[in-house]
Chain A
C-alpha cells in the first residue's frame, strides 16, 4: 500500500509537471491576448515529432534545445501572420482560428510522419533506473523530466518577476490597454509571448515523447485536459496553473489507485439507492471514471467560481 501511495505521488507529480509545462504557456497567452489557444496541445505534438526527428539525425541533447526553439519560432510566425490579422475580428474569431489550426497541424503531422506511432526512444544515457523503492525501480528519465519541469518553472517565475519583459507581461495581464498606452509594442510582446508559450509546449513534447507514445492523436489526448488545468487554476495565474496541474495529476493517479465504486462513495454520503436510470453507474469504480473527474471539476468550478482557484480577471 505504502508503495502504491509513494509511486502514485511520484507519477502524479510527473504528470502534473508535464501538464504545467503546457498550461503555463497556454495561460500566459490567454491572459495576455485573451486568446484561448485550442491548438496549444498541437504544438506539444510538434515538439515531440521535431524532437524525434532531430534526435534521430543529431541526438537527443541537441533536440532538447533545437526542437522547442523551432516550435516557438513557428508559433511566433503563426501569431504574426495569422492570429494578428484575425485579432481585429475579436476573440471568437481568434478562438476559431486556433481551432482550425489544430486540425491542420494534426493532418500535417500525419502527412509527414504517417499515422503509426514513431519509434521515439529514451536516450540511452537516461534509460536507467534512478532508484529502487520496495523492489520497484523508478526510471531515471522520469526523474529527468521532473527536474526539467521544475527548472522551467523556476526560470519562468524569474522571468515574470525579475525581468523587465516579465514586468510588462504582468502589467499586460491586468492592464493590456494601459501597457499599449505606455508606448510598448504590444503586438510584438504578444508575438513573443505566443512564441514562448509554444516553445514551452514544444519542450514538453520533446521530453514527454519518449515516455508516452509519439503519434498524431497525442494532441487530442492531451488537449482537453489542458483547458481543465487553466480553468481550475484560474485564467492568467501561473501559480494557479501549477497548483491545478499537480492537483489534476494527483487526482488522476490516485483515482486509478482507488478500488472504490461510485455506489460505495454515494453510500458513504448517504445516497444508498441509485436514482432512476443511473443505477448502472453504481457498480462503476472510481478508477474507471478517473479521466472524467477533471471535467466534472471544471464545469462545477466554472459555474460556481469562474475565476478558478487563483484567477484574477474574467
Chain B
C-alpha cells in the first residue's frame, strides 16, 4: 500500500523536524505568531523584537547562567494551528510562549494551556500575550498561565473616553469599526463610556464594516461627511485603515481621527500617503517613539539600530514582559515558570515608558499609563519618525492607569 509507505516516511520526517535537540544552557522562548501570509508582517516584527530583547538579556550575562533563545513558530493566524505549534514548541523544550496577533489564536492558546498544564503537570508552560487587544482573553476566557502585557481594547476605549473629556472641540462623534469582536467591542464600550463621560457629545454615525472585504471606502467617507461629524473613532487597522484614510484624504474630509491601531505596520505610511493634514490622526497606545522617558527612547534607539531606522519598537508590552520575567527569574534564582508566574501575580513595576504599572492578580492583566499621540512632521534628530515617512508621533496626552481600570469577569482556576 502506497499510503502506508508515505505515512511512515512523512511521520519520520515530522519527527526529524519536529523535535530538534536543544543545548543544555539555553532557555528557549517560543514565539507563536503569523510568520507567513499577509499577517506575517506584524509577526515578524514581534519575532525581531523578542530576539532583540533576548539579545539584551544575554549581553547582560543571561538568566541564571542560561542564555535566552527565541524561536518562531508560524501559526498562520489560525487558532487550531496555534495549538499544534504550541505542542511542537513545548515538545522541543520551550516553557515560555509569547504571542500577540489575533484574538482567536489568543483564546485558543489560553484554552490549550489551561488543559495542557493540567494534563501534563511536568511540562507546565507560561504564556505572555504581549499585544493582544481582545478583552475576552482576560475575562471569560482568562487563564492563570497567561499574562497580558498590553492594555485590552476596553481599557483603551475607557482611556480614550476620559481623554476626550478634556477635548471641548469634539461635539459630533462618528464610530467606525470592523464587524468583528474587537470592532463590536469598541463600538459598545465607546457608546457607554461617552454617555458617561461626555453626555453632550452627539454620536452622529456608527458603522460596522466587514473586515478586509471593502475595496473602496469612498462611499463610507461620503457618509461620514454627510453626517457632519468632527471626530471619528475607529478600530480599523491594516488595509482597512489605509483605504479609509486614503479615501478621506481624496474627498477632503477634515475630521480628527482617533485610532487604536495606527502604529501598526504600514499605517504611518498610509497616513502619509492619504494627504490628510498633519496632527489630525491620533493613536492611543502603551508608548510611542518620542516619549518623554529617556530610558524608553534609549531602548527605541538601540532597537532601530538593530532592526532598521524605519521600524519603531511597536510592542512596548514585550519590553515590560522581558524586564519583569528576567527580574523574577533572577530574584527567584530559577527558570521554573510555575514559580515565576506565581511570583508575578499582583507584582508592581516601573515601565521603561514611565509611570507605574502592575499585574492585576484576578485576571493577569497588566495596567500601565497609556499615551495619546498625533502624527506629523518630525525634524531630523529632533525625534524618531515612522517608516521613514518624515512623520512621527508627538505626545499630546497621558492617561493614568487608574483611569483604565475596567472590572473583570475572570474566574481564574489556579493550580492547587
Contact = CB atoms under 8 A, between A and B. Distances in A.
Chain B binds chain A: yes
Interface of A: 1, 3-4, 7-8, 11-12, 14-15, 114-117, 119, 121, 127, 129, 136-139, 141-142, 211-213, 215-217, 221-222, 225, 252-254, 256-257, 285, 287-292
Contacts of A289: 210
Given A117-B266, A121-B273, A287-B207, A257 B219 contact: yes
Interface string B197-208: 000000000011
Nearest to B275: A127
Nearest to B208: A288
A292 B219 contact: no
Give the interface size bracket for B toward A: 20 to 34
A215 B242 CA distance: 11
A288 B210 contact: yes
Given A115-B41, A119-B273, A121-B273, A4 B243 contact: no
B176 to A, nearest CB: 11
Decide if the interface of chain A is mainly helix, strand, loop or mixed.
Answer: helix
B265 A116 contact: yes
B222 A4 contact: yes
A217 B239 contact: yes
Contact of B219 (A115, A129, A222, A253): A253
Contacts, number: 104
A114 B220 CA distance: 29
A1 B225 CA distance: 11
A49 B38 CA distance: 16
A114 B308 CA distance: 15
Contact of B215 (A127, A138, A215, A221): A221
A212 B250 contact: no
Interface in B196-249: 207-210, 212-216, 218-220, 222-223, 225-226, 239, 242-243, 246
28 contacts: A4-B222, A7-B222, A14-B216, A114-B41, A115-B41, A116-B41, A117-B239, A119-B269, A119-B273, A136-B225, A139-B251, A211-B216, A211-B246, A212-B215, A212-B216, A212-B243, A213-B242, A215-B38, A215-B239, A221-B213, A221-B215, A221-B239, A252-B219, A253-B218, A254-B219, A257-B222, A289-B210, A291-B213
In the A-B complex, the 5 residue pairs with the smallest Cβ-Cβ separation, listed nearest first, are A256-B219, A291-B213, A253-B219, A11-B218, A137-B252
A213 B38 contact: no
Contacts of B266: 116-117, 215
A12 B209 CA distance: 17
Given A117-B266, A217-B212, A11 B219 contact: yes
Contacts of B97: none
B212 A288 contact: no
Contacts of A139: 250-251
Given A11-B216, A136-B225, 8 more contacts: A8-B222, A116-B266, A136-B222, A221-B212, A221-B215, A253-B218, A288-B210, A291-B213
